[in-house]
Amino acid sequence: MERYRRIEGLQMNEEHLWCLKENGYEAGLHKHYEGLFTQGNGYMHARGSFEEGCSDAPQDEEYLRFPDNVTLEKPRHPKSKQGTFIPGIVARHPLLKEEIVNLPYMLGLELRSAGESLDMDRSRISGYRRWLDLRDGSLHRTLIWETAEGMQLQCTFERYISMADTHLCIQRIQVEVLAGEGRLEAAASLRGDVRTNGMNHFDSVVPTAEVGGSLSLKTLTEQGNRIFMHSALEASEAVIWQEENSQVTAALRGEFAVQTGDRLTVSKLTAVTTDRDMEEGEAGSRALAQLSRAREIGWDQLYERHAACWKSKWQGADILIKGDDLAQLNVRASLYHLLRANAPEDARVAICAKGYAGEAYFGRYFWDTEINLLPFYLHTNPQAARNLLLFRYNTLDGARRNAQNYGYRGARYAWESSLSGDEQCANWQYADHEIHITADIVYALYHYVRATGDEDFLEHYGIDILVETARYWCDRVDWNREGVGELLGVMGPDEYLPFTRNNAFTNRMVKFSLEQTIACLDSLQGSKPDSYAAAAERLNILPEERELFRHTAEKLRLPYDSRTDIVPQSDDFASYADLDFDSIWTDRSRPFGHFISQERNYRSKALKQADVLELMLLFPHEFSREQLKAAYDYYEPITTHDSSLSVAVHGIVASWLNQPKAAANFLQRVMDIDLSLEKKGAAEGIHIANCGGLWQLIVYGLAGLKSAMWSKDIKLEPRLPKGWTKLSFQLAWQGERYRITIHPDAHAVHKLEGRGYVAGTTL
Amino acid sequence: MERYRRIEGLQMNEEHLWCLKENGYEAGLHKHYEGLFTQGNGYMHARGSFEEGCSDAPQDEEYLRFPDNVTLEKPRHPKSKQGTFIPGIVARHPLLKEEIVNLPYMLGLELRSAGESLDMDRSRISGYRRWLDLRDGSLHRTLIWETAEGMQLQCTFERYISMADTHLCIQRIQVEVLAGEGRLEAAASLRGDVRTNGMNHFDSVVPTAEVGGSLSLKTLTEQGNRIFMHSALEASEAVIWQEENSQVTAALRGEFAVQTGDRLTVSKLTAVTTDRDMEEGEAGSRALAQLSRAREIGWDQLYERHAACWKSKWQGADILIKGDDLAQLNVRASLYHLLRANAPEDARVAICAKGYAGEAYFGRYFWDTEINLLPFYLHTNPQAARNLLLFRYNTLDGARRNAQNYGYRGARYAWESSLSGDEQCANWQYADHEIHITADIVYALYHYVRATGDEDFLEHYGIDILVETARYWCDRVDWNREGVGELLGVMGPDEYLPFTRNNAFTNRMVKFSLEQTIACLDSLQGSKPDSYAAAAERLNILPEERELFRHTAEKLRLPYDSRTDIVPQSDDFASYADLDFDSIWTDRSRPFGHFISQERNYRSKALKQADVLELMLLFPHEFSREQLKAAYDYYEPITTHDSSLSVAVHGIVASWLNQPKAAANFLQRVMDIDLSLEKKGAAEGIHIANCGGLWQLIVYGLAGLKSAMWSKDIKLEPRLPKGWTKLSFQLAWQGERYRITIHPDAHAVHKLEGRGYVAGTTL
């Protein structure tokens, strides 16, 4: 781990293109770095907190978080919130419904000397540096600590969560005594005093510590899940570990006598398992087995295996940018989180809105998955994309329950999905009215099929989603007196207008969804009558029902046509109030929503995010360049981008419209969302949809790739930003892999040999 | 109290026209009767619970009540919820905001024999009867208890809350031993184990009991209010009281040896005071002084004073109906609660939505006060009406804060007002969008002035309300591109359409409000320039501001005109979905809202309550009879009457339209709201607005009185229901009192001599 392994094609002097650095500690930025430096491997994730914690930042504060607008609410824990998340381990919040549980803190490692603890805020510290190496997801901290007794200690903390052995977390402290002598203490812990959004979700936490150097914490959640954490400690010097458990914390400390020139290493290897894991066998014994196997493998080999996995992931996903080192690093930061947050083998979970890097969005699943994230996985790791769709298939029963709860037939996907697909959104205006999610999933289904050619997926999984959601739509449509189908009371992607009539985006997506349902049934009946018959029986499809799907698809209103000058966001959009933005939004560095009451916002023409532009992004061939430009010119000035889903879309459209300055500006804003030190945007977690948006902005916008949804072939229309001399990335496409290479005046598509894949199997 | 005192003009054989009776105990009806039998005197109120409580109905259950649709949510405490309320004593609920505190239970009185307690569910009971005498608000219960040991005891419970000595509650048990002998125990208590909507709002409760026969309970609420309850016990036989306090309950018990033929009487006299009372002096000593003064006065005199107050109240307020005894009784039940719930001398409080007879609506103030309740008080006790408007004047600062919180100038009255006028509604769709309340208050202000002639009220109080609310309206109006003022994003009275455009009711009320503001300023400037100058300085009225008021009043859109066939509820009303009511609303005995999701409801043409009809009721001269009929014919079939504010309005309109059957049907439905044993509508408290609605239905509808808002003279157009041979009531009008007498074929208005009043003073 000390030496970074070479990744194919990379040089050792490329740290500045791969390492996110924090130079000097600043308390006000700590929470931001906790989010940004989140490590993980799909199975588990841990925020980038200090091993020893933070002074004045208790993690077990109890309070009642209320349902509120997450974009606008003031988060708790201004200084630090540790986070340890295993997708799938959830509990009930009395007001907010299902939330992912913040698990016991497994990273505890402290240094003490003569009663003084190393503390980033209170100790005398110099030479502080911290960095996350994106190549292998390892986190490093180095500093010089001058103790009260006058010792000068060079301290280095390193840790990673293994991408190969997904239950393992590996940590090490190294201390070099630069001057002085005295007694040094190292303490390791597994801490159960953790609350999730102020709630205690642990029914019991049982700590044990053995003086041989092992710690364990057994946690039973109120939902009945069992979490096992076992740690093994090792030190470079002989030591007698002493237990210092508290009620819910397992802890050991060891004391060392040191003098100038001494080097001391303390390592902590932690295995984490749960009773929800896919592996067979009792979780507690699996954790112990993992640990002993890891110790057999040894530290170097553990790292080798881990680094090899990261290397493989980067090979398929990396985007190479020449001529703009900062963009290169920032893009990789996004890719890193996209690679980290996904568990490509576990279709019982998807990717939560904060990328498992914070509590803010409760670990739930939104439309982000299908519209913002999916394209990245489609074209870098189709197996992962398939898994995301399988998650929706697996939660179809939840969607059926949602439909029923609202009084409809069929399946209605949740605006905020739990593990089971049941609606969790505590704010009814979104849960009730932001219905496009159900069509977004069908769009994504076809996006997957068309990008991969995996037609079988429709036959085995997709058809159930299609038929059940079509039933919901037919119930949801109202018929006006002219016999036109309408969708009333709808919140489109723009969440600042909750009750619109015939939202253009939503209606188009629903029409698409119904049309594909009909096409799928027709085609299956023609090509595979047996398979159709089985589906018809399983889903109880009636002939008149297919007629209803067809009729609804045909008669559903689209509030625009090819002659429309400006495509209206909804039928009633013109009737909302115009705003004088300059007099209201007096500080554009803060969200617009802070400057206006929700009441006024809900009746005014102020878009939270792209809505018509999102429609044009998903159906680009249906709009003329003039319509695109008119929409951009009309909507962009009244769009607040208060949602992180908005800027990337605008960047793509600006790029399509050949407005390089605007595109570059949006590109910068996309990167700033999680990375800007002024915004501290990662404090509550990673805006993972925006990471997917950045990939789309580069691939669809700057490289000008025509979406696989609408093109069988790879078609590019690149427009590189000023200064970029090269842009290159791999692309999985129709079962093959390609390398795209773009220079300012030329581009090339090379098919990669020997790296083909078959959809439905892992690369 | 044993013998009802004669009320002038009443005969002793009129009990059936004055007594609400419960014949036989039924556990499932108990909560309903608790609400219906609520006693009180404006200062304090107590639900009609059994003195000994109810088995299996703990009053100290703790839970978190969520913000929900009060009409539709399932209330807790299915069997019994005791309630002791003093308007003004409130606390904070973490989710629901300010709520009136359910105080310690002061009514505790139990009978026991040989370890057995008298228990309505478990004891062997016969001859149970209970009745509330509306004449004096006294509650009576009589029954025969056959104890396990074989005694037969005729037990009678009586109690009242004094209307004359408002801090006193008087109770008595009488036991006659019909057969057997043994030991009988009487226990009296003041119980602090009470929760409000599941919350404990008591910081401390200190019980004391003295064996001389006195109990006390000192309660400190978390808001810092101190409540003192002191009781003195008396028994007809010598007794040594024994203390049986628990942690938060003061209790004494006394044992009596009894035998056949014995009669035992135990009395409990309780004084209740708080540090918020208007009287001077320390609350604790006041309570003790009240108590000793009451004992000096003696039981008979206490009752005389009390009954005289009720008599006086009834003289101004009673409605006499001949030919329909049930209607007579039911109307009096409503009048009783209107008289009870109001505190005509305390303008720091108004009348809460449940008439201080339950926790459901948190003791808050709605538009009901101005639109539904005010007319009754205007014409029976103008001083009380004035007080209700003073409450709005006193809370103008709260309304200013509300406006500011929403980003507006001026004053915006709360949809659900706290004591201070600050918005308490936890459901934003109402709080944000149901803005007509602010104009309703101005309408009520003018209604008061025009009904009483008290023009000075405008000069001293009204003008501040007018100017400040006009400022809010000018900020709230949006201007469309044609220069027309609009009110967007509005929920009108119909709460099933939360986001409409230019709600006809709201826009008309706002226009009225602005017009009156201008008129008031113009008139004051002309007639009392000094007073105008003072107001202009106090309120910082600028000349251009008056111009803005005028311009806004002129240009505000009314979505109808005299040629409109059907007055639209709002500009966008036609675009909502039509519903097939019969297929959805399969059980019309339950609210429509139970059969449809809020999501669907919010986009459909299903009115919760009168909206356009309410407009026509308030501005009757602006609509032709044809328009009224068209509106009634169009809206009535799509009105669900899920709100209790709806039926009375429809009854009035049906009466105006000369549809006697429909009017009679609505009259019955109005009376059923709190009185029907099938609906059990009083369980959570009294629908006090509907009580006011019943008064309006009789006076405006059946008697056909033209509103004082639009007529200087008393004008009647009676249409008596079938079978009614006489309808008679008093009417306070322009500083005088009149008696209205209506027979099927004739009616008369008599001015009453010597009963004139001057507005602003108590009758």
pLDDT, tens digit (0-9, with 9 covering 90-100), for B682-708: 999 999 999 999 999 999 999 999 999
Q: With 90 as the cut, is the pLDDT of residue A710 above it? A: yes
Which residues on chain B are in Cβ contact (under 8 Å) with A407? 596-597, 600
Q: Using CA of residue A603, residue A609, residue A612, residue A618, what is the dihedral sign?
A: negative
- To the nearest whole Å, the CA of B573 is away from the closest chain A CA by 12
What is the average pLDDT across B465-476?
Answer: 98
Nearest to A42 by CA among A352, A342, A308, A338: A342
If one counts every other C-beta atom within 10 angstroms of the C-beta of residue A112, the result is 18
**DSSP track, B460-475:** IIIHHHHHHHHHHHHH
| B489 at A interface, C-beta within 8 A | yes
CATH code for the domain in which residue A402 is found: 1.50.10.10
H or E element that contains B271: strand B263-274
Choose from B575, B583, B601 for mutation: most chain A CBs within 10 A.
B575
A307 and A439 share a domain? Answer: no
Q: What is the pLDDT of residue A538?
A: 97
| B409 at A interface, C-beta within 8 A | no
Residues 501-530 of A with CB under 8 A from B: 501
Q: What is the pLDDT of residue A527?
A: 96
A1 within domain boundaries: no
B305 and B325 share a domain? Answer: no
pLDDT top residue among A484 and B23: A484
A123 and A45 share a domain? Answer: yes
Nearest to A635 by CA among A718, A570, A719: A570
Q: Test A599 with B432 for CB contact under 8 angstroms.
A: yes
The band of A754, judged by pLDDT with boundaries at 50, 70 and 90, is low
A311 and A420 share a domain? Answer: no
β-strand partners of A209:
A215
Query: Are A52 and A110 contacting, i.e. CB atoms less than 8 angstroms apart?
Result: yes
Q: Which domain holds residue B380?
A: 318-751
Which residues on chain A are in Cβ contact (under 8 Å) with B603? 478, 488-489, 499
- To the nearest whole Å, the CA of B592 is away from the closest chain A CA by 14
Q: Test A576 with B64 for CB contact under 8 angstroms.
A: no
Q: Which residue from B478, B571, B596 is facing A407, i.e. has the nearest CB?
A: B596
Choose from A571, A600, A605 for mutation: most chain B CBs within 10 A.
A600
Which residues on chain B are in Cβ contact (under 8 Å) with A405? 597
- To the nearest whole Å, the CA of B64 is away from the closest chain A CA by 9
| B598 at A interface, C-beta within 8 A | yes
A307 and A415 share a domain? Answer: no
Domain count, chain B: 2
Residues 548-577 of A with CB under 8 A from B: 571-572, 575-577
- Quote helix, strand, coil % in chain B, to nearest 5: 35, 25, 40
pLDDT digits (tens, 9 = 90+) for A297-308: 999 999 999 999
Residue B368 DSSP SS3 = helix
Q: What is the pLDDT of residue A646?
A: 96
Q: Test B478 with A603 for CB contact under 8 angstroms.
A: yes
| B498 at A interface, C-beta within 8 A | yes
Q: With 90 as the cut, is the pLDDT of residue A763 above it? A: no
β-pairing, B124-133 vs B19-23, is antiparallel
Structure tokens at B62: 């703790």
CA distance B689 to B370: 10
A98 and A118 share a domain? Answer: yes
CA distance B46 to B363: 13
Q: What is the pLDDT of residue B464?
A: 98
What is the average pLDDT across B290-301?
Answer: 95
Which residues on chain B are in Cβ contact (under 8 Å) with A575? 488, 501, 571-572
CA distances from B171 to A224, A328, B51, B138, B666 (A): 53, 84, 9, 10, 38
- The whole-chain average pLDDT of chain A stands at 95
Residue B629 DSSP SS3 = helix
Nearest to A235 by CA among A209, A205, A269: A269
Q: Which are the contacts of B630, defined by CB distance < 8 A and separation ≥ 6? A: B565, B566, B567
Structure tokens at B742: 């209506």
Q: Test B428 with A598 for CB contact under 8 angstroms.
A: yes
- Pick the last residue of a domain from B290, B315, B340: B315
H or E element that contains B208: strand B202-210
pLDDT digits (tens, 9 = 90+) for B372-413: 999 999 999 999 999 999 999 999 999 999 999 999 999 999
Q: What is the pLDDT of residue A693?
A: 98
A141-145: long-range contacts, CB 8 A cutoff, minimum separation 24: A141/A50, A143/A25, A144/A178, A145/A111, A145/A118
A121 within domain boundaries: yes
CA distance B354 to B352: 6
A3 within domain boundaries: no
Query: For residue B342, what is the DSSP state?
Result: -
Would residue A523 be called left, alpha or beta, if left means φ above 0 and alpha means ψ between -120 and 50 degrees? alpha
| A489 at B interface, C-beta within 8 A | yes
Nearest to A32 by CA among A687, A741, A751, A736: A687
Q: What is the pLDDT of residue B322?
A: 97
β-strand partners of A126:
A144
B68 within domain boundaries: yes
What is the average pLDDT across B278-302?
Answer: 95
A344 within domain boundaries: yes
**Chain B residue at shortest CA distance from A405:** B597
Q: With 80 as the cut, is the pLDDT of residue B722 above it? A: yes
- To the nearest whole Å, the CA of A577 is away from the closest chain B CA by 6
| Torsion, Cα of B387, B388, B389, B393 (10° steps) | 80
**Between vectors from CA B219 to CA B218 and to CA B223, what angle results, nearest 5°?**
150
| A602 at B interface, C-beta within 8 A | yes
Q: Which residue from B432, B596, B602 is facing A489, i.e. has the nearest CB?
A: B602
Q: Test A406 with B498 for CB contact under 8 angstroms.
A: no
B532 and B631 share a domain? Answer: yes
B93 and B161 share a domain? Answer: yes
B342 and B308 share a domain? Answer: no
What is the average pLDDT across A481-505?
Answer: 97
A762 within domain boundaries: no
Q: Which residue from A66, A486, A575 is facing B501, i.e. has the nearest CB?
A: A575
Q: With 90 as the cut, is the pLDDT of residue A69 above it? A: no
Q: How many Cα atoms occupy the beta-carbon half-sphere of A627 within 13 Å?
A: 20
Q: Which residue from A428, A577, A600 is facing B598, i.e. has the nearest CB?
A: A428
Would residue A363 be called left, alpha or beta, if left means φ above 0 and alpha means ψ between -120 and 50 degrees? left
A761 within domain boundaries: no
Q: Test A432 with B597 for CB contact under 8 angstroms.
A: yes
Q: What is the pLDDT of residue B754?
A: 64
Query: For residue A125, what is the DSSP state?
Result: E
Structure tokens at A751: 């098919």
| A580 at B interface, C-beta within 8 A | no
Q: What is the pLDDT of residue A14?
A: 86
Amino acid of residue A507? N
H or E element that contains B447: helix B436-452
Q: Test B498 with A501 for CB contact under 8 angstroms.
A: no
Nearest to A719 by CA among A756, A667, A684: A667
- Pick the last residue of a domain from B282, B315, B348: B315
Q: What is the pLDDT of residue A7?
A: 43
Q: With 90 as the cut, is the pLDDT of residue B8 above it? A: no
Q: What is the pLDDT of residue B70?
A: 73
- To the nearest whole Å, the CA of B423 is away from the closest chain A CA by 14
Q: Test B488 with A598 for CB contact under 8 angstroms.
A: no
CA distance A306 to A283: 22
| A409 at B interface, C-beta within 8 A | no
- Pick the last residue of a domain from B315, B330, B354: B315
Nearest to A292 by CA among A302, A282, A281: A302
Q: Test B432 with A602 for CB contact under 8 angstroms.
A: yes
Q: Test B433 with A599 for CB contact under 8 angstroms.
A: yes
Q: What is the pLDDT of residue B579?
A: 97
CATH code for the domain in which residue B186 is found: 2.70.98.40
Query: Are B603 and B576 contacting, i.e. CB atoms less than 8 angstroms apart?
Result: yes
| A483 at B interface, C-beta within 8 A | no
Q: Using CA of residue B571, residue B575, residue B578, residue B584, what is the dihedral sign?
A: negative
| B586 at A interface, C-beta within 8 A | no
- To the nearest whole Å, the CA of A401 is away from the closest chain B CA by 14
**Chain A residue at shortest CA distance from B491:** A599
Q: Where does A371-527 show beta strands of DSSP type E? A: 478-479, 485-486
B385 and B470 share a domain? Answer: yes
CA distance B272 to B231: 9
The band of B755, judged by pLDDT with boundaries at 50, 70 and 90, is low
Q: Using CA of residue B669, residue B671, residue B674, residue B675, what is the dihedral sign?
A: negative
CA distance B463 to B457: 9
CA distance A380 to A383: 9
The band of B69, judged by pLDDT with boundaries at 50, 70 and 90, is confident
| B486 at A interface, C-beta within 8 A | yes
A123 within domain boundaries: yes
A225 and A372 share a domain? Answer: no
- To the nearest whole Å, the CA of B168 is away from the closest chain A CA by 40
The band of A3, judged by pLDDT with boundaries at 50, 70 and 90, is very low
Which residues on chain B are in Cβ contact (under 8 Å) with A605? none
B287 and B325 share a domain? Answer: no
Sheet containing strand B39-40, strands side by side: B39-40, B45-46, B84-85
Q: Test B499 with A597 for CB contact under 8 angstroms.
A: no
**Chain B residue at shortest CA distance from A580:** B478
CA distance A741 to A9: 15
Q: How many Cα atoms occupy the beta-carbon half-sphere of A22 within 13 Å?
A: 29
CA distances from B750 to B724, B739, B742 (A): 20, 5, 11
How much of chain A exceeds pLDDT 90, in percent? 94
β-strand partners of A40:
A45
pLDDT digits (tens, 9 = 90+) for A718-736: 999 999 999 999 999 999 9
Q: With 70 as the cut, is the pLDDT of residue B762 above it? A: no
| A600 at B interface, C-beta within 8 A | yes
- To the nearest whole Å, the CA of B94 is away from the closest chain A CA by 9
What is the average pLDDT across B194-218?
Answer: 97
Which residues on chain A are in Cβ contact (under 8 Å) with B597? 405-407, 432
The band of B745, judged by pLDDT with boundaries at 50, 70 and 90, is very high
| A93 at B interface, C-beta within 8 A | no
CA distance A328 to B348: 66
pLDDT digits (tens, 9 = 90+) for A435-464: 999 999 999 999 999 999 999 999 999 999
- To the nearest whole Å, the CA of A630 is away from the closest chain B CA by 20
Residues 248-277 of B with CB under 8 A from A: none
How much of chain B exceeds pLDDT 70, in percent? 97
| B73 at A interface, C-beta within 8 A | no
CA distance B210 to B218: 14
Nearest to B375 by CA among B707, B612, B654, B662: B707
Q: Test B488 with A597 for CB contact under 8 angstroms.
A: no
CA distance B72 to B56: 25
β-strand partners of A736:
A733
Which residues on chain B are in Cβ contact (under 8 Å) with A64? 94
